[in-house]
Amino acid sequence: MTDQLTLANVRYEKRDGIAYVILNRPKVLNALNTPTWIDLQKAFEDAKADASVHGVILTGAGDKAFIAGADISELAHVDAYEAEESSRFGQDVLNLIENIGKPVVAAINGFALGGGCETAMACTIRIAAEHAKFGQPEVKLGLLPGGGGTQRLPRLVGKGRALQLILTGETISAQEAYRIGLVNEVVPAADLIARAEAILKQISANAPIAVKFSLEATNKGLETSQTEGFALEASYFGICAATEDKKEGTSAFLEKRAPQFHGR
């Protein structure tokens, strides 16, 4: 285990190439307030900078909630300027999570509502416990999703289904979230972290540079035209072709052995 970052609202641990980011406010169902957003930012900045970290698991403390949403006691007192600044900061933190260049698996162990659903959507892969619940209930508070929900949700489930969720504020089950493509898998709660770890270990067996550029090509490509996305993909394909990992990967395939990648 490497040196640990000590945070007030987030438990942060690193073991065997995986960083564990655990929202640690179970008494308020891991609700997001400003100090918690700041702790999340610090944890993911550390995970991004640490070359020994090959992937991240993001989850919540306790068995009731992943992240139940924004801390309403804080949200109730913000004015228009503060609300916009808060929205932009939350978006920045989630953009960091989405673009750290390493896979991030959300292990969703309960309620993922509002900012919790938005946080899960910023992750690379979402694994839900069978009892997890999802929703964007902001309209019931006189607001709209402010952490990227109006942008990421339509990209994941389509415009029509996204608008139904956003405009009704309804809560859906893990099984429905899987059906519409909001989550990748639904597993028993007892298997949640083990399944997240297994996915990250499967990814980390591959060439690190290829993984990084696959993430970038997909994320950036979705923000541009398909033609520009093709050009980006070809450029990254060329970069990967010049790496030692590509030489090792192709040689190992031809020699019928397991490759040994070193991220070079």
- Residues involved in catalysis: 118, 138
Is the Cβ–Cβ distance between 55 and 200 less than 8 Å?
Answer: yes
Residue 58 to residues 19, 20, 47, 112, 121, Cα–Cα distance (Å) = 8, 6, 12, 12, 12
The rounded distance, in Å, linking the Cα atoms of 97 and 67 is 15
Residue burial 205-222, b: 16+ Cβ < 10 Å; e: rest: eebbbbbbbbbebeeebe
The order of strands in the sheet holding 111-113 is 65-67, 111-113, 133-135, 171-173
Q: Which helix (H) or strand (E) holds 73?
A: helix 72-75
105 DSSP β-pair partners:
57, 125
Number of Cβ within 10 Å of residue 240's Cβ equals: 17
Q: Are 174 and 130 in contact (CB under 8 A)?
A: yes
DSSP state at residue 31:
-
On the CB side of 256, CA atoms within 13 Å amount to 0
Query: If we measure between CA atoms, which residue out of 154, 128, 152 comes closest to residue 59?
Result: 128
> CA neighbours within 13 Å on the CB side: how many for 242?
5
